[in-house]
Amino acid sequence: MSESMVQIRNVTKVYERGKQKIEVLHGLTFDIPKGDFVALMGPSGSGKTTLLNLIGGLDQPSSGEISVGGNRIDRLKSGELAKWRANNVGFVFQFYNLMPVLTAEGNVELPLLLTKLSAAQRRKNVAVALNVVGLSDRAKHKPKELSGGQEQRVAIARALVSDPQILVCDEPTGDLDRKTADEILGLLQVLNREHGKTIVMVTHDPKAAEFARRTLHLEKGTLVEQAA
Amino acid sequence: MTKTGFVIANLFRKKTRTSLTLLSVIMAFLLFGLLQSVNHIFDAGPNFLGATRLMTQARVSFTSPLPISMVPKLEAVPGVTRVAWSQWFGGIWQENQQLFAFAVDPKRHHDVYPEWVMPEDQWQAFAGTRTAMIAGKLVADKYGWKVGQKIPISSNIFPQKNGSKAWAFDLVGIFDGRDEDWKKRALNVYINYDYFNEENQFGKDRTNFFILKLADSKQAQQIAQQVDAMFENSPDETKTQTEKDFNLSFVKQIGDIGLIVRWILFAVFFTLLLVVGNTMAQSVRERIPELAVLKTLGFSDASVLGFVLAEAAAMCAIGGLIGLGIATLFGALIEKGSGGQFQLNVGGYVWAIGLATIVFMSIAVGLLPALRARRLKIVDALAGR
Amino acid sequence: MLTQTTAITSINLKSIPERWGPSLVIVIGLAGVVAVFTALLAMAVGFESTLKATGREDVAVIMRGGSDAELNSGLPRDQGTLIKQEPGIRKDDDGQPLASAEMIFIAELAKKGERTGANVTVRGIEPKGFKLRPQLKIVDGRTFETGKRELIVGQGVARQFDGARVGQNLRFRGSEWTVVGVFASGDANDSELWCDVEVAQTTFNRQGYSSLRAALDGPGGLQTLKDALSADPRFAVDVTTEQEYYSAQTKQFRQQIGFLAGVVTLIMALGAIFAALNSMYAAVAARSREIATLRAIGFGGFPVVLSVMIESLVLALMGGALGAVIAYLLFNNFSVSTLGQNFTQVVFAFKVTPALVVRGLVIAVVIGMIGGFLPALRAARMPVTTALREL
């Protein structure tokens, strides 16, 4: 395959809960190549969400190295990480996490407020993103006026609008019915196959994992098998 | 949409809550505007009273009259170009309307107060007619007086020689102020001193005030001291001060109004801080997950703090500006309604302090929630911890 | 229904500590309104009662006709003696009329801590003047001697002004006077300085009097005196009781303060209502699930409304009581002075009376009820299913 998008080298994550120290990830080492669509699976408490957060630059490892897109993100400070996230990662959450006070358009435009684009340019990019996810006709609706699946599409559009290299998804279909879930997963596939986005997706649903190219299994903080 | 648009949209998230909080802010600043302008009346005056005039009164109290015979001595003081005098007449119009009437020497008064504007022939008529009176535009309009009418005025203080309390004067002129400030003060009535002096039963050849017009305002302090030194240890000791200081000392005796106003405003804003602070804190608490999402999108900790502060500022600014605006409106209405008697001018000074207060409040109510927003850890917030 | 209401109310009230933020808003907000209201009116009450206490019903004040204040009044010297002879005036033990011809002068003293002076009243009295004010006692030093330039000062003056202590000299109108005593009268007299009227007249070259005070002879005395004086063409005077005289003087101040208190309290009350509404809406929203559950179980809508209003009332009353206590602690007996009728200072103290406290609490209750009503309605009308679904 192509070069690595994500390189994990001996990464450990330890949480402190009061006086207790809990090691959630134990010396993980693996690669995710560019253009891959990986499903991260594992039982509750396996650390899959923790790993996802590290790859997405939402948190820092306790030890080890993480490179994403050639950047050593374990070395970045909080302010620099924020900037890095803005330019390089797109997030999709289980509960969509849209701003209820903004329209679909407004929500998708949010990340662009961090750029130097003019208002006109921002609007253009938003329109393109909404088009890709097939929601152009719902642009002016507020989240409470949209169905679950439509909300998730808006979230995906928002994740795309800054043209990031990698999409990080945490249980993106966890709150949707079967049919809608399949639609969303299909959309992710399109983004991967036709638009070349690298996607890392945490899921507990084996059917969802089938949409990915490969699956990594995590158990108690270590990789157990790599199935293609 | 812009960052500002986003802030405003968040402000009106829960419409009822925001509206009610906004209304509380408006009420507080309305009160602030009105009270501060009342407070300011007591230190205002400086900008329109000419330091080119001094007021001389009896040292003890302006209620104690001084003899007219002092005039030559006052005129002889170097630097004094003209001396006029003014004796309180008071007077009641129609049962119970108190007038601000003074007995003056028409020519001298005209010389010393160029700020009163009236056609020359009316000034001549005032000087030439014994029973003449002139009235300020505001009071004339209030009572519907027209030039040429005979105006009956009764006096509780000065009966005529025949014992009658009823006086009557010929209104020969109506004067107005030279500019905005003086127009507002056109409330006085002036009668002819000679006529008053001859006809009234008590006190001959005496007056409450002398007004000294100066050649050079820079000499004001020195001339004032000179005049008072001249009459020290005499039966008619004087106190000479600028008009501005005179106003101040009179009104200061009403009491420490400033203190009362400050206490009230303190209570009001302390409570307001609590009300708005509570709203902001609640609002941020509810939005922790959203704020976390903003951070995932790449907004820095500082920018999230900025959003919250901006929201607090928007709340305080919108409410504050509306409140001050209403206060200005009310102030103008009260001025109009009382015929200029209550000058509740919510002017530049009050607005300046108001704006500073808005800024202060914004920081006070927004800082803690904003810091909380800045501090929140994305991972914990998203997981609901 | 009573049991239902009690049950819901007790749940509500017990949960207040969880929602201490919004609850505190109501309490503090109302404390502020009531404190300001009470303080302002305590000023008016204090001023009024000081002046009211000054006047006696059995003492007449006689002034020149048409003057409404002693300052404007001037009686010729001979009239002073003549009026005393009129019927209606009680005789003293020595057979002489119990009356005092008095003259007031304005003097300037420096208020403690200020540079600019304020005007005070100096009253020249005749010896019988003391008998007309039996409540007056010398609390420091001694009374003045007739024929000497000596002053006694009221305790209000001693408290608020510089240079008015026993042994000190005061200088006005070119003459020197010595303070020989301090008196306490418990009323407006405490704002004055007293001396021998004859000495004052000669010192300041004045012949007449400002007023005559005379003890009235029995309940019909006032009328007798009035009739006699109006029948006599020599005199153009007005006769009132001391009570009426001082009462009238408080009217303007009372009106002004009343107006100020009214406006300020109204605006603050509106603000407090909005704040209370805000808090109660939040309270209802926070507990919408509980309320809906209760409704689902079978509790009626009306008890729910009642319980919300009771909660609002309880908080409002707490705030009102707090405000009254603050006003009392901070302001009761706080001594101030202001411009009185003769353009001189009157010293008085704030008075937080039980009546005022009650009025303040009534305001708190009204605000509490308004603040609780609409949210209560919303709570009762909320569809049960929606509320149960709300996360």
If you write DSSP's letter for every residue of C236-248 in order, what string do you get?
A: -EEEEEHHHHHHH
Residue B252 has pLDDT above 70, yes or no: no
Amino acid (1-letter code) at residue B135: A
Question: Could you tell me what percent of chain B has a pLDDT over 70?
Answer: 91
Cβ-based contacts of B378 with chain A (< 8 Å): 53, 58-59
CB-CB: which of B235, B254, B263 is closest to C338? Answer: B254
Contact across the interface for B379 and A59, Cβ inside 8 Å: yes
Within 10 angstroms of residue B69's Cβ, the number of other Cβ atoms is 10
Please say whether the dihedral angle defined by the alpha carbons of residues C62, C63, C68 and C70, taken in this order, is positive or negative: negative
Enumerate the residues of chain A whose CB falls inside 8 A of the CB of residue B301: 78-79, 82
Which are the contacts of C356, defined by CB distance < 8 A and separation ≥ 6? C38, C41, C42, C45, C324
Nearest to A145 by CA among A106, A112, A177, A115: A106
- Specify the amino acid at residue C109: L
**Which pLDDT value is given to residue B347?**
78
The mean predicted confidence, pLDDT, of chain C is: 83
User: CB-CB: which of B156, B274, B278 is closest to C72?
Assistant: B156
Q: Are B124 and B175 in the same domain?
A: yes
| pLDDT (0 to 100) of residue B341 | 54
What average pLDDT does range B2-6 have in this prediction?
87
Query: Strand C59-64 to strand C211-215: parallel, antiparallel, or no bridges (unpaired)?
Result: antiparallel
Evaluated on CA atoms A17, A22, A23, A24, the torsion sign reads: negative
**Residue B47 pLDDT > 90, yes or no?**
no
Let me know whether B29 and B106 are in one domain: no
Contacts of A58 in chain B (CB under 8 A): 296, 378-379, 382
Are B69 and B26 in the same domain? no
B141 or C47, greater pLDDT: B141
Q: CB distance B35–C345 less than 8 Å?
A: no
Is residue B344 domain-shared with residue B275, that is, in the same domain? Answer: yes
Residue B250 lies in a domain: no
B379/A109 touch (CB, cutoff 8 Å), yes or no: no
Q: Distance (Å, rounded) from C-alpha C359 to C-alpha C353?
A: 10
Measure in Å the smallest separation between the Cα of B207 and chain C Cα atoms.
Answer: 15
Mean pLDDT, to the nearest integer, of B269-276? Answer: 83
Are C89 and C97 contacting, i.e. CB atoms less than 8 angstroms apart? yes
Q: Distance between CA A61 and CA A221 in Å, rounded?
A: 13
Residues 6+ apart with CB under 8 A from B271: B28, C28, C29, C31, C32, C271, C272, C275
Count of the separate structural domains present in chain B: 2
pLDDT digits (tens, 9 = 90+) for C369-382: 888 888 888 877 77
Is position B354 within any domain? yes
In this structure, what DSSP letter does residue C68 have? S
Q: For residue C46, which of C267, C325, C328 has the smallest C-alpha distance?
A: C328
Q: Does C204 touch chain B (CB under 8 A)?
A: yes
Determine the pLDDT at residue B242: 81
Of residues B318 and B275, more confidently modeled: B318
Name which CATH class applies to A34-58+78-227: alpha beta
Q: Does B294 touch chain A (CB under 8 A)?
A: yes
Residue where a domain terminates, one of B182, B206, B236: B236
State residue B250 phi and psi, 5-degree precision.
-65, -50
**Binning pLDDT at 50, 70 and 90, where does residue C391 land?**
very low
In this complex, is the C-beta atom of C72 within 8 Å of any C-beta atom belonging to chain B? Answer: yes
Q: Do C267 and B31 touch (CB under 8 A)?
A: yes
The domain containing residue B34 runs over which residues? 3-45+256-382
The list of chain A residues with pLDDT below 50 reads: 1, 228
Parse chain C into domains and list their residue ranges. Answer: 2-53+249-389, 66-235
Say which of A58, A79, A119 has its CB closest to residue B296. Answer: A58
Q: Do C107 and B60 touch (CB under 8 A)?
A: yes
Q: Which residues of chain B are within 8 Å of residue A109 when distances are taken between CB atoms?
A: 1
Give the domain ranges of chain A. Answer: 34-58+78-227
Distance separating alpha carbons of residues B228 and B29, to the nearest angstrom: 45
φ/ψ of C346, rounded to 5, equals -115, 125
pLDDT recorded at residue B343: 63
Please, which pLDDT band fits residue B48 given cuts at 50, 70 and 90? very low
CA pair distance B185, B369, nearest whole angstrom: 50
Helix (H, G, I), strand (E, B) or coil at C324: helix
Mean per-residue pLDDT for C244-262? 76
Give the gap in angstroms from C-alpha B156 to the nearest C-alpha of chain C: 5
Residue C28 in contact with residue C203, Cβ under 8 Å? no
What is the rounded distance in angstroms from the CA atom of residue C247 to the CA atom of residue C270? 33
Q: Which two tokens stand for residue B229?
A: 């030194």
Q: How far apart are CA A185 and CA B132, in angstroms?
A: 99
Q: Are residues B166 and B229 in the same domain?
A: yes
Mean pLDDT of B265-270: 82
Report d(CA C357, CA C365) in Å as an integer: 12
Tell the burial category of C167 from Cβ atoms under 10 Å away from its Cβ (0-12, 13-18, 19+): exposed
Task: Indicate whether B211 and B310 sit together in one domain.
Answer: no
Using DSSP bridges, classify how beta strands C237-241 and C59-64 pair: parallel, antiparallel or unpaired.
Answer: antiparallel
**pLDDT value of position B45:** 42
B297 CB near a chain A CB, below 8 Å? yes
What mean pLDDT comes out for the span B204-211?
A: 88
Interface contact B70, partner C, CB < 8 A: no
Q: Are residues B275 and B187 in the same domain?
A: no
Residue found by looking up tokens 């009392």 in the block: C328
pTM for the model stands at 0.73
pLDDT score, position C81: 84
Interface A–B counts its CB contacts (< 8 A) at 73
What is the rounded average pLDDT of the residues B257-274? 78
**Is any Cβ of chain B less than 8 angstroms from the Cβ of C345?**
yes
Dihedrals phi, psi of B114, to nearest 5 degrees: -65, -10
Using a CB-CB distance cutoff of 8 angstroms, which residues of chain B are in contact with residue A158?
A: 297
Of B163, B252, B271, the CB nearest to C32: B271
Residues B75 and B206 in one domain: yes
More confident residue, B152 or C391: B152
Predicted pLDDT at B49: 43
Q: First-to-last CA distance in chain A?
A: 13
CB of A47 closer than 8 Å to CB of A23: no
Same domain, B107 and B196: yes
Average pLDDT over all residues of chain B: 84
Give the start-end residues of each E strand in B129-258.
132-136, 150-154, 166-177, 188-192, 206-207, 209-214, 238-242
For residue B46, pLDDT beyond 50 = no
Higher pLDDT pick, B354 / C48: B354
With CB atoms and an 8 Å threshold, state whether B157 touches C72: yes
CB within 8 Å of C389: residues ≥ 6 apart: none
Please tell me the predicted confidence (pLDDT) of residue A225. 66
Chain C partners (3+ C-beta pairs within 8 A): B
Contacts of residue C65, Cβ cutoff 8 Å, sequence gap at least 6: C236, C237, C238
- Specify the pairing of strand C150-154 against strand C192-196: antiparallel
Count Cβ–Cβ pairs < 8 Å, chain B vs chain C: 136
Lowest pLDDT segment from B44-53, B243-252, C62-71, C222-231: B44-53
A54: Cβ contacts below 8 Å, ≥ 6 apart:
A11, A13, A25, A60, A61, A66
According to the model, what pLDDT value does residue B338 have? Answer: 62
SS3 B82: strand
Residues of C in contact with B31 (CB under 8 A): 264, 267-268, 271
Q: Mean of the pLDDT values across residues B303-310? A: 92
* For testing contact with chain B, the best of C120, C278, C350, C390 (most B CBs within 10 A): C278
Regarding whether B65 and B33 lie in a shared domain, the answer is no
Q: Provide the pairing of β-strand A4-17 with A166-170.
A: unpaired
User: Which of C19, C209, C253, C264 to mutate: most B Cβ within 10 Å?
Assistant: C264
Q: Which residue of B has its CA nearest to C68?
A: B156
Residues of A in contact with B295 (CB under 8 A): 82
Question: Model ipTM?
Answer: 0.83
B contact chains, 3+ CB pairs < 8 A: A, C
Alpha helices in C15-68 (DSSP H): 20-54
Show residues of chain B in contact with A102, CB under 8 Å.
1, 6, 9
Contact C182, C217 (CB under 8 A): no
**Chain C residue at shortest CA distance from B283:** C282
Pick from B271, B272, B284, B365 the residue to mutate for testing the C interface (most C CBs within 10 Å).
Answer: B271
Chains A and C touch, contact meaning at least 3 pairs of CB atoms under 8 angstroms apart: no
* pLDDT at residue B279 tops 90: no
